[in-house]
Amino acid sequence: MRSRYTAYAVGDTAYLLSTWHATTRPRRLSLDAGLRWTGLTVLSAKGGLLDTTGVVAFQARYDDQGRPGVLTETSRFVREGGRWYYVGPV
C-alpha cells in the first residue's frame, strides 16, 4: 500500500500498473498532474505473511491546485508468487 501511494506521489505509472492485479488492471493509466499527494494514513490492514488476500483501509491526502482533499478507500489485495497486487476497492 505504501509503495503504491509513493508511486502516485512521484508519478510512477509503470510501477502502479505492475502492482495492479491482471484481472482489474487498466490498459493505461493517466495521473492528474495538478494533484500533489501530501500524506498517507493507513487506518487498518488485514493480511499477513501466510495470507493470500488482504484488505487495507487508508486515507490519502492531496492538494488539488490549492484545494486540499482526502481520498478514503478500503482496498483489496491478493498475493501471488510472493508479491502483493492491488485488486480494487472493496
Instruction: Look over the chain and give the mean of its residue pLDDT values, rounded to a whole number.
Output: 96
With cut-offs at 50, 70 and 90, classify the pLDDT of residue 71. Answer: very high
When the candidates are 1.20.1730.10, 3.10.450.50, 3.40.50.970, 3.10.20.30, the CATH number that belongs to 2-89 is 3.10.450.50
Distance CA 67, CA 16 (A): 25
- Could you tell me the pTM of the whole model? 0.93
Please report, for the chain, the start and end positions of each structural domain, with discontinuous segments joined by +.
Answer: 2-89
- The β-bridge relationship of strands 83-89 and 67-80 is antiparallel
DSSP string, 32-59: -TTEEEEEEEEEEEE--TT-SEEEEEEE
The per-residue pLDDT for range 6-23, each reduced to its tens digit, is: 999 999 999 999 999 999
Count of beta carbons in the 10 Å neighbourhood of residue 8: 20
Task: Give the per-residue pLDDT at 1.
Answer: 82
Count of beta carbons in the 10 Å neighbourhood of residue 78: 16
